[in-house]
Chains A and B, each alone.
Chain A
Amino acid sequence: MSVLDNSIEQLAQQVSSGDVSAAQCVDASIAQIRAQNDSLNVMISDCEDAARERAASIDAKIAAGENAGPLAGVPIAIKDGICTAGHVTTAGSKMLENFAPPYDATIVQRLNDAGAICIGKANLDEFAMGSSTENSFFGVTKNPWSTECVAGGSSGGSAAAVASGIAPASIGSDTGGSIRQPASFCGITGIKPTYGRVSRFGLIAFASSLDQIGPMARSAKDCAILMNVLSGHDVKDSTSARNDVPDFAADCEQDIKRLRLGICRQHFEEGLNEEVKASVEEAIKALESLGAETVEIDLPHTKHAVATYYVVAPCEASSNLSRFDGVRYTSREPAEKLIDMYSQTRKVNFGEEVIRRILLGTYSLSSGYDHELYKKASQVRRLIKNDYDAAFEKVDVIVGPTVPTTAFKIGQHAQDPLAMYLADIYTASANLAGVPGISLPCGFSSDGMPIGLQLQSNMFWESTLLKAAHQYQTQTDWHSKRPQS
Chain B
Amino acid sequence: MNATIDRDSIKFSDAKLIVGLEVHVQLKTDSKLFCGCSTKFGSDPNTQTCPVCTGMPGTLPVLNQKALALSIKTGLALNCEIARYTKWDRKNYFYPDLPKGYQISQFDKPVCGEGFVEVKVPKSDQPSRKIRLERAHLEEDAGKSIHDESGKGGVSRIDLNRTGTPLLEIVTKPNIRSAEEAKAFLTELKQILEYIAVSDCNMQEGSLRCDANVNLHFEIDGETIATPIVEIKNLNSFRAAERAITHESKRQFKQWKKSGESIHDAPKQTRGWDDSAQCTTPQREKEESADYRYFPDPDLIAVIITDEEIETAKNSLGELPASLRTTLQSEYGLNEYDSAVIVSAGRKMVDYFRALADGSGKDGKPNGKMASNWVGQEIMRYLNEHNATIEDYPVSAETLADLLSRIVGGEVDQTRGKEVLAEMLSSGCDVQSAFDKLGIVKVDSGDLDALCQQLIDENPAVIEEIKGGKLKAVGSLIGKARQINPNVNPGVLREAILKIIGI
A238:B96 contact, CB within 8 angstroms: no
Taking a contact as CB atoms under 8 Å apart, the answer to whether B295 and A201 are in contact is: no
Decide: A366 and B291 in contact? CB cutoff 8 A. yes
A348 to B370, CA, bound (A): 77
Knowing A83-B57, A238-B60, A238-B62, say if A102 contacts B51 (CB, 8 Å): yes
Q: A residues within 8 A CB of B51?
A: 101-103
A-chain residues with CB within 8 Å of residue B300 when the two chains form the complex:
238-239
A238 touching B58 by the CB < 8 A rule?
no
Contact of B100 among A316, A323, A338 (CB under 8 A): A323
Enumerate chain B residues within 8 angstroms of A398, measured Cβ to Cβ: none
Verify if B293 is at the interface (C-beta below 8 Å from A): yes
Q: What residues on A are CB-neighbors of B60 within 8 Å? A: 200-201, 236-239
CA A209 – CA B295 in complex, angstroms? 12
Q: Cβ of A201: which chain B residues have Cβ within 8 Å of it? A: 58-60
Asked whether B58 lies within 8 Å of A323 as measured between CB atoms, the reply is no
Contacts of B102 in A (CB 8 A): 319, 322
Given the interface pairs A323-B99, A362-B293, the reply to whether A209 lies near B298 with Cβ below 8 Å is yes
- Any chain A CB within 8 A of the CB of B174? no
Closest to B51 in A: A103
Report whether A325 and B94 are in contact in the complex, using a CB–CB cutoff of 8 Å. yes
Q: Identify the closest chain A residue to B289 (Cβ).
A: A367
- Once bound together, how far apart are the Cα atoms of A236 and B298, in whole Å? 14
Tell whether B346 is near chain A: CB-to-CB under 8 Å.
Answer: no
In chain A, positions 61-99 with a C-beta closer than 8 Å to chain B are 82-83, 89, 91, 96, 99
Tell whether A365 is near chain B: CB-to-CB under 8 Å: yes
Q: Quick check: A239 and B96 within 8 Å, CB to CB?
A: no
Interface residues of A in 360-394 (CB under 8 A from B): 362, 365-367, 370, 374
Shortest distance in angstroms between B35's beta carbon and chain A's nearest beta carbon?
A: 10
Cβ contact within 8 Å between B100 and A322: yes
Residues of B88-116 at the interface with A, using a CB-CB cut-off of 8 Å, are: 90, 92, 94, 96, 99-102
Asked if B62 and A236 sit within 8 Å, CB to CB, the answer is: yes
Q: Which parts of A329-384 form the interface with B (CB within 8 Å)?
A: 329, 338-339, 342, 362, 365-367, 370, 374
A451→B62 CA distance, assembly (Å): 41
CB pair A319 B295 closer than 8 Å: yes
- State which size class the interface on A falls in: 35 or more
Q: Given A238-B63, A239-B301, do A205 and B101 touch, yes or no (CB 8 Å)?
A: no
Max chain A Cβ within 10 angstroms of own Cβ: one of B101, B298, B300, B301: B298
Instruction: Find chain A residues with CB under 8 A from B304 CB.
Output: none
Closest to A207 in B: B298
A26 interface hit (Cβ, 8 Å): no
In the complex, what distance in Å separates the CA atom of A325 from the CA atom of B100? 9
Q: How far is the CA of A374 from the CA of B90 in the complex (A)?
A: 14
Residues of A within 8 Å of B260, CB to CB, are: none
Residues of chain A lying within 8 A (CB to CB) of residue B90? 319
- What is the chain A residue whose CB lies nearest that of B290? A367
Q: A325-B94, A366-B291 are in contact. Are A208 and B298 (CB under 8 A)?
A: yes
| B101 engages A325 (CB within 8 Å) | yes
Shortest beta-carbon distance, A206 to chain B, in Å? 11
Task: Let me know if A278 is at the binding interface, CB within 8 A.
Answer: no
Contact of A99 among B57, B92, B158, B294 (CB under 8 A): B57
- Once the chains bind, are B55 and A323 in contact (CB under 8 Å)? yes
User: B30 contacts the other chain (Cβ, under 8 Å)?
Assistant: no
* CB contact list, A432-452 vs B, under 8 A: none
B30-44 interface with A by 8 A CB criterion: none
In the complex, the chain B residue whose C-beta lies closest to that of A208 is B298
A101 and B295 within 8 A (CB): no
The smallest C-beta distance from A123 to any residue of chain B, in angstroms, reads 17
Q: Tally A-B pairs: CB < 8 A.
A: 100
Q: A239-B298, A327-B158 are in contact. Are A101 and B92 (CB under 8 A)?
A: no
- Of the listed residues B92, B102, B293, the one surrounded by the most CB atoms of chain A closer than 10 A to its CB is B293
* Residues 47-67 (chain B) with a chain A CB within 8 angstroms: 51, 54-63
CB distance from A126 to the nearest CB of B (A): 13
- Min C-beta distance of A39 to chain B, whole Å: 30
The reply to whether B57 and A101 form a contact with Cβ atoms under 8 Å apart is yes
B301: nearest chain-A partner, CB-CB = A238
Contact A202 B158 (CB under 8 A): no
Assess the A322–B301 pair: CB atoms within 8 A: no
A208 contact from B92, B99, B101, B299, Cβ within 8 A: B299
Task: State the CA gap A399–B60 with chains docked (Å).
Answer: 34
Contact between chains at B295 and A370 (CB < 8 Å) = yes
Contact flag A319-B92 (CB < 8 Å), given A238-B63, A239-B301, A362-B293: yes
Cβ of A116 under 8 Å from chain B:
no
Measured CB to CB, the closest approach of chain B to A218, in angstroms, equals: 28
Contact with A105, one of B54, B58, B99 (Cβ below 8 angstroms):
B58
Interface of B, secondary structure class, is loop
Nearest CB to that of A362 among chain B residues?
B293
**Residues of chain A with a CB closer than 8 A to B291's CB:** 366-367
Closest to B61 in A: A238
- Whether A338 and B298, one on each chain, are in contact in the complex, defined by CB atoms closer than 8 angstroms, is no
Judged by a CB distance under 8 angstroms, whether A204 is at the interface is: yes
Instruction: Find A322's partner among B56, B94, B295 (CB 8 Å cutoff).
Output: B94
Give A359 Cβ to nearest chain B Cβ, in Å.
13
- A362–B300 CA distance with the chains assembled, in angstroms: 21
- How far, in whole Å, are A286 and B299 apart by their CA atoms in the complex? 41
Q: Which residues of A contact B295 (CB under 8 A)?
A: 315-316, 319, 365, 370, 374
Query: Which of B58, B96, B294, B301 is A205 in contact with, Cβ under 8 Å?
Result: B58
**Residue of A with least CB distance to B62:** A238
B58 to A202, Cβ gap below 8 A? yes
Within 8 A of B (CB), among A295-327: 315-316, 318-319, 321-325, 327
- Chain A residues with CB under 8 Å of B96's CB are 325, 327, 338
CA separation between A363 and B172, bound complex, in Å? 32
Min C-beta distance of B116 to chain A, whole Å: 30
Q: Which residues of B contact A60 (CB under 8 A)?
A: none
Within 8 A of B (CB), among A249-270: none
Bound-complex Cα distance A365 to B99 (A)? 20
- Complex Cα distance, B293 from A464, in Å, reads 40
A85 CB, min distance to chain B CBs, angstroms: 10
> Taking the nearest CB of chain B, how far is it from the CB of A361, in angstroms?
9
* A419 interfacial by beta-carbon distance below 8 Å: no
Q: Chain B: which residue is nearest A316 at the CB level?
A: B298
Q: How many angstroms between the C-alpha atoms of A362 and B63 in the bound complex?
A: 26
Q: With an 8 A cutoff between CB atoms, is A453 at the interface?
A: no
| Minimum C-beta distance from A47 to chain B (A) | 17
Residues in A neighbouring B56, C-beta threshold 8 A: 101-103, 329
A83 to B56, CA, bound (A): 10
Contacts known (A238-B299, A325-B94); A365 close to B57, Cβ less than 8 A: no
Docked complex Cα distance between A236 and B59 (Å): 8
Mark out the residues of chain B between 370 and 420 whose CB falls within 8 Å of any chain A CB in the assembled complex: none
The one of A203, A319, A324, A339 in contact with B58, judged by C-beta atoms closer than 8 angstroms, is: A203
Which residues of the partner chain B approach A91 to less than 8 Å between Cβ atoms? 57
A88 CB to nearest chain B CB (Å): 12
The CA of A101 and the CA of B96, in the complex, are separated in Å by: 20
| Residue pair A366, B100 in contact (C-beta under 8 Å) | no
| Chain B: CB-nearest residue to A210 | B298
Complex: how many Å from CA A208 to CA B102? 14
Inter-chain contacts of A323 with B (CB < 8 A): 55, 57, 99-101
Residue of B nearest to A82 (CB): B58
Interface residues of A in 179-228 (CB under 8 A from B): 200-205, 207-209
- 9 CB < 8 A contacts A-B: A82-B58, A83-B58, A202-B58, A204-B58, A236-B62, A238-B300, A239-B60, A315-B295, A316-B298
Apart from A316-B298, A319-B101, A374-B295: 17 A-B pairs, beta carbons within 8 A? A82-B58, A91-B57, A102-B51, A102-B56, A103-B51, A201-B58, A202-B58, A203-B58, A236-B60, A239-B298, A239-B299, A239-B301, A316-B295, A319-B295, A328-B99, A329-B56, A365-B92
Measured CB to CB, the residues of A under 8 A from B are 82-83, 89, 91, 96, 99, 101-103, 105, 200-205, 207-209, 235-239, 315-316, 318-319, 321-325, 327-329, 338-339, 342, 362, 365-367, 370, 374
List the 10 closest pairs (A to B, CB-CB), nearest first.
Answer: A322-B101, A209-B298, A208-B298, A365-B293, A204-B57, A202-B58, A83-B58, A323-B55, A327-B96, A204-B58
